[in-house]
Structure formats: structure tokens, C-alpha cells
Structure 1
């Protein structure tokens, strides 16, 4: 049976973005990129909320074939390295499911032909069927509101949290519902202060 795995970055004080809603204040370094590549490579389906889908589909489809940057030491160069190009290629190929009540994906969207929209009221039934098909994971990136709803319904199997060495003091909290978790793995990365904690979800709590 396929697992539903949530991937998110979070500050040490439990926020996924600052008070303005900007997640880029967290340490999204090469370790973060590699962890995302590992996760999407093990997936045979990606599940996203509508806002995350719109943001990702405006960026990721074009990274694979973007021209090489003029400055190989620039921030742009890391964004276009082989890890990020591999993420782009996998995103472009893997089937995507958007949890949304806003209607179909626009035909001009680069991912339109590889994306299905499922209404929020139907997502539990869709997951029950999807878990029985294939061998790879169903993975979630970003999509905080969507996966918190799935977590509250007992539908999330694992949480893979990249802990950024950042204390924001205030910001957008990652978790909106309580849950009991069991630590599976603590993963460190050479040259990075980020740590990935992988948890099995034992139970959501009311």
C-alpha cells in the first residue's frame, strides 16, 4: 500500500514562513534541494494544494532546460545545478493531483496535461483508491493548509521535516492540528546546518 508523505521546511520555532508569509527566510540550501530530489524520485504521484501548485508550476517546468548562467558562482547557478534540473525533470513527468474547489487547471499551464484536480470533499475517497495503485509514494510539497486537513483526518503516513537553523520569533505556524509522531530517522547533510527529521504519524488528536 502506498504511503502519503508530507515534505516541508520549518524553523526551529515551528514556522514555515515569516510574518509576511515568505518561506524564503528559511535555509533552502543544497541539502534542502537534495532531500526534495530524493523524495520526488521515490514518488510516483505528487499531491499539492492549489496555491502551491500555481507557484510551483510557474517555476519548476522551466528549470530543466534553462540556459547556463553567466556566473557559475552565483545564486542563480545553484538554482540551475544538476540537482534542481533533476527535480524539474521529475516534476514535469510525474502525475500531479491538485486538491482544489477552484475548477480546472488552465490549458496554458505547463503541467496541465499531467495534472488532475480533485475536490476537497472527494480527497479522502481518492486517497483510499490511490493507495492501492502502484508502488511509489504519494508525496506532498508545501501545501500546508491541504496537508493539515489530511493530517486531521488521519490520512498522512509520514512527515519529513527539514529543520532550518532559524528562529523567526513570529511567523506562519506549520502545524494547525495536534498529532502524535514517532521519529523514524534523523538525517544530517555534509556542509549544511539543516537537519531532516522523519516521523511516522501515530495519530491525529482532536
Structure 2
């Protein structure tokens, strides 16, 4: 069985993005990128919602060849290009285009639970989610999320989009925590306790 891991940055007051959908309002630092690269390196599949996928395609591909990009950004760019991606989107696959087209499978929302459950029944490295708040809240409600890796940001935003949609309950078990030199953020790793 493969694990489905959701990794997110969350402010101390529980927000996933700042007011007006501004992700750059989040308490970001260089260790956030290092953390994300480490997560990507261990994953076998990247699972994204349609909006996050479009954001990734618009930002990451050119980073590998950008002389001004950090080495971590270049490494993330290369890994994003090669990793198998699954995108939940109601836009038909034949209408999808972009640099990730050849490494991406598109799944309609109505088929997502069954498809992702099938991926999880397979063997291999974990399935990783970045962003995609609407999708992972839905998958949490469906009992398909196995772990949360939450980068708890050292900041209070006072508003924005809550990380959790308030519709689903879940019991979590702490697997571990870590801090990094030069960062005020803390990484919390939780297992989702299966109910019933």
C-alpha cells in the first residue's frame, strides 16, 4: 500500500493563504523550499488539483535553466518535470497543454476517489500533495489521506483562507517534529487515524 501524504504551509492562526488568496503573505523562508524538495525526492507520484497544477506549470519549468534560481529551486524544477503527476480536473485531457503534458494523467472529479484509492493499493513510493486545498479536504473526508506534513509558519495572518474547510473531523497521531537552523517554522508530521 502506498501512503497519500499532504504537505502544506500553515500560519499559526490556521491559514493556508493570506487575504485575497495571497500565498506570498505566508511566513516563507528558504527551509520551506528545502523541505518541499526532500518531500518530492521521496515521492513516486505528485497529486494536484487543477488550480495548483496550473500554478506549477506557470512557475517551475523555467527554474531549471534560470541562472538566477537557487540550487534548490533548480532541483525542484527538475523533479517536478520528471515525476509522475495526477491532476484532478474536469477539463478534458485532450484540452490540456503545457510542459508537463507527457508526465501527467488527468482524472475527472467524479472518478477521483476511485482512481486515487487504486493508486494507493499499488506498491511504490508515497503519493504527495502540495497545495490543492479543496482536493485534499475532499480526500480527507473520503478517508484517503494517510499523513499530514504541516510546516507551521511563524506568523499570524489575521485572515485569509483556512487550511481546513471546517466540514470534516479527523483524529491525528503525531509522528514527529523537526526544526531547522535559520528557520522559525516547525515541521509537524501526523498520521491520520482511520475511523470506524
- TM-score normalised according to structure 1 size: 0.90
The answer to which structure has the higher helix fraction is 2
The residue correspondences of 1:104-143 to structure 2 (distance < 5 A) are 104=93, 106=95, 108-143=97-132
In the aligned structure 2, how far is the partner of 1:49 from the partner of 1:204? 25
Contact 1:158–1:198 (CA<8 Å) still a contact in 2? yes
Instruction: Quote the residue 1:38 is aligned against.
Output: 38
Instruction: Quote the residue 1:94 is aligned against.
Output: 83
| CA positional deviation for 1:168 | 1.1
Alignment RMSD (CA, Å) = 1.5
Instruction: Quote the residue 2:170 is aligned against.
Output: 179
Is residue 164 of structure 2 the alignment partner of residue 188 of structure 1? no
Q: Cα distance 1:178–1:107, how it changes in 2: closer, same or farther (>3 A)? A: closer
SS of equivalent residue, structure 1 residue 47: strand
Q: Cα distance 1:122–1:114, how it changes in 2: closer, same or farther (>3 A)? A: same
Q: CA-to-partner distance for each residue in 1:155-190, whole Å, 9 max, x for gaps?
A: 000000111111011111000132111111111011
In the aligned structure 1, how far is the partner of 2:85 from the partner of 2:137? 19
Moved over 3 A (4+): 105-108
The residue correspondences of 1:137-176 to structure 2 (distance < 5 A) are 137-176=126-165
Contact 2:18–2:159 (CA<8 Å) still a contact in 1? yes
In the aligned structure 2, how far is the partner of 1:178 from the partner of 1:171? 21
Instruction: Quote the residue 1:48 is aligned against.
Output: 48
SS of equivalent residue, structure 2 residue 136: helix
Structure 2 regions of 5+ residues with no counterpart?
none
Instruction: Quote the residue 1:17 is aligned against.
Output: 17
In the aligned structure 1, how far is the partner of 2:54 from the partner of 2:43? 20
Q: CA-to-partner distance for each residue in 1:17-45, whole Å, 9 max, x for gaps?
A: 11211111112211100110110100110
| CA positional deviation for 1:105 | 6.2
Instruction: Quote the residue 1:75 is aligned against.
Output: none
- TM-score normalised according to structure 2 size: 0.94
SS of equivalent residue, structure 1 residue 136: coil
Number of aligned residue pairs: give it.
Answer: 194
| CA positional deviation for 1:108 | 4.0
